[in-house]
């Protein structure tokens, strides 16, 4: 655990189509302290995805080299592709006081919590399975087989809910963003996040 770290580690996990990426974009718009971690993946870019913005797209061979170099905080295989969180990016940014948002799958989320117990794990749920299926069809970034696969993965992922600190049902994006900001605001006031010097200063001034 990085005791001197100032920024928050915010882990957002959700079944595909629950609205995690939109929520992350909303957070980034609310304050310049938020920064989104750019993961490495062996998946091919989708239309409109940008290298270095959405992901670093690498070959499986290069990804394996990065694993050997210990470049990842965690990595996991999701839907047949490898995804990994950069250790350098995360540690440099929290040290600099940035609140780092990590959009990772449930296995990644629990691994991050093991390494950084101060990480805040938030699970985003869709209002219903029917709604999730509807959103995946509307998104049209996957074919029918991938949609089926993502729905069945979602049912497995829900099992990790007890390992998370918070859950939010994304029934309305504005309301969910507000709830997420409330969680983050409350987390900033946790005694164990406030430096001792600051607590002493406050006590002295009472």
**10 binding ligand 5GP? (CB under 6 A):** no
Of 97-105, 131-139, 163-171, 181-189, the segment contacting ligand 5GP by CB under 6 A is 97-105
**43 binding ligand 5GP? (CB under 6 A):** yes
Which strands, in side-by-side order, build the sheet including 39-41?
55-57, 39-41, 81-86, 72-78
Would you tell me how many other CB atoms lie within 10 Å of the CB of residue 11? 26
Do β-strands 39-41 and 81-86 pair in parallel, antiparallel, or remain unpaired? antiparallel
Query: In whole angstroms, how close is the CB of 98 to ligand 5GP at the nearest point?
Result: 17
Angle in degrees, CA 186, 192, 197, rounded to 5: 110
What SS3 state is found at 155?
helix
What SS3 state is found at 97?
coil
Query: In whole angstroms, how close is the CB of 190 to ligand 5GP at the nearest point?
Result: 25
Classify each residue of 130-158 as buried b or exposed e, where b means 16 or more C-beta atoms within 10 Å of its C-beta: eebbebbeeeeebeeeebeebbebbeebe
Query: In whole angstroms, how close is the CB of 99 to ligand 5GP at the nearest point?
Result: 17
58, two tokens: 């690498």
**87 binding ligand 5GP? (CB under 6 A):** no
Instruction: Say which residues have a Cβ less than 8 Å from residue 195's Cβ, sequence separation at least 6.
Output: none
Query: In whole angstroms, how close is the CB of 165 to ligand 5GP at the nearest point?
Result: 17
Binding residue (CB under 6 A) for ligand 5GP from 9, 16, 58, 120 = 16
Of 3-11, 71-79, 90-98, 196-204, the segment contacting ligand 5GP by CB under 6 A is 71-79
Closer residue to ligand 5GP, CB minimum distance, 3 or 159? 159
Residues 102-121 that bind ligand 5GP (CB under 6 A): 103-105, 107-108
Query: In whole angstroms, how close is the CB of 23 to ligand 5GP at the nearest point?
Result: 12
Binding residue (CB under 6 A) for ligand 5GP from 24, 84, 93, 168 = 84
**Bridge partner residues of 74 (DSSP):** 85
Angle in degrees, CA 34, 110, 38, rounded to 5: 35
- In total, the chain counts a number of residues equal to 206
Binding site for ligand 5GP (CB under 6 A): 16, 39, 43, 74, 76, 78, 83-85, 103-105, 107-108
């Amino acid at each position: 655990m990085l005791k001197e770290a100032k920024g928050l580690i915010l882990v957002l996990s959700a079944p595909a189509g629950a609205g995690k990426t939109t929520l992350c974009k909303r957070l980034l718009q609310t304050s310049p302290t938020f920064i989104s971690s750019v993961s490495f993946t062996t998946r091919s870019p989708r239309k409109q995805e940008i290298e270095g913005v959405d992901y670093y797209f690498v070959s499986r061979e290069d990804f394996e080299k990065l694993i050997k170099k210990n470049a990842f905080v965690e990595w996991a295989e999701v839907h047949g592709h490898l995804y990994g969180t950069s250790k350098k990016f995360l540690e440099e940014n929290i040290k600099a006081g940035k609140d780092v948002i990590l959009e990772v799958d449930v296995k990644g989320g629990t691994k991050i919590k093991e390494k950084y117990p101060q990480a805040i794990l938030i699970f985003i749920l869709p209002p219903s399975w029917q709604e999730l299926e509807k959103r995946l069809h509307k998104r049209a970034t996957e074919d029918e087989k991938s949609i089926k696969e993502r729905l069945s993965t979602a049912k497995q992922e829900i099992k990790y809910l007890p390992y998370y600190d918070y859950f939010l049902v994304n029934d309305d994006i504005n309301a969910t963003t507000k709830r997420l900001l409330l969680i983050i605001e409350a987390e900033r006031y946790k005694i164990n996040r406030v430096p001792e010097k600051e607590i002493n200063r406050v006590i002295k001034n009472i």
